[in-house]
Amino acid sequence: MSESTVIISQSVAVLVDGNNMERSIEDVTKKKGYMINYDTLIPKLLKTRGLNRLIYFREGKQISQKLAERLHDQFHGSVRPCHKSADIPLSIKATQLSSKVDAIIIMSGDSDYVELVRHLKSEGVRVEIAAIEQTTSRLLIDEADHFFAITDDDWFTLGSSAPSNKSNSKKTTKKKTT
C-alpha cells in the first residue's frame, strides 16, 4: 500500500421513503409497475463503506413480503409500515441513528427532509440524498453533502423474471397485479 492511499472506514445508514421513490419513478416513466433494484443500487451508494442499517419506510399496510424478505436477506434490512407518510418515522429514526453512524443516506427527493438534513449535519453526520433528480427538490440537493442521481439503470419492471438483468427488465412490461 502506498503512502498516498487513504482507507475510508465509515458506517452508513440507508433510510428509504418507499412511497416517495415509487411516486418519483411513476412521475418520470408515466407508468406504474417499476421498482428500485436495491441489489445493485445499495452497493453503488455505499462504495467501500459499511452498511450499518437499511430501513425501508412505506405508508400503508400493503407492503410486499417479497421485498421485505429480499431486503432482509441481502442487507439485513427491515421494512417499517407507516400510519401516514414516512416523513416523521424516517426523521425520528435518522435522529436516533445520528450518534451511531458516520453518514446517513436518505432515499427521497421530498423537500420535507430539508430541516432534517440541516439538523443531522449540525450533529456532525454526513448526509447524502439518493433520488430521481427530475423529481427532487433543488433545496434538498443543495443542502445535502452529496447527491446521487438514481436513473432508469437503477430500477426494473415488476414482473420481469430477472430484476438484476437490465436488458430483460426493460423489455418486460407486465402490469402489476394487486
Query: What does the pLDDT look like over 19-29, one tens digit per residue?
Result: 999 999 999 99
Is 10 domain-assigned? Answer: no
Complete DSSP assignment for 116-173: HHHHHHHTT-EEEEEE-GGGS-HHHHHHSSEEEE--GGGEEETT-S-TT-HHHHHH--
Please give the tally of structural domains in the chain: 1
For the domain that residue 52 is a member of, what is the CATH number?
Answer: 3.40.50.1010
Backbone phi, psi, residue 8, to 5°? -100, 120
pLDDT attached to residue 168 = 38
Is 173 domain-assigned? Answer: no
Residue 117 banded pLDDT, cuts 50, 70, 90: very high
Residue 69 banded pLDDT, cuts 50, 70, 90: very high
Is 177 domain-assigned? Answer: no
Is 11 domain-assigned? Answer: no
Quote the mean pLDDT of the chain. 87
Ramachandran region, residue 54 (left: φ > 0; alpha: ψ -120 to 50; beta: rest): beta
Least confident segment among 37-46, 95-104, 165-174: 165-174
Residue 158 banded pLDDT, cuts 50, 70, 90: confident
Whole domain around residue 102: which residue ranges? 18-159
Is 1 domain-assigned? Answer: no
Is 86 domain-assigned? Answer: yes
Is 120 domain-assigned? Answer: yes
112, 86 contact by CB (below 8 A) = no
Is 51 domain-assigned? Answer: yes
Q: What is the pLDDT of residues 122-133, one digit of tens each?
A: 999 999 999 999
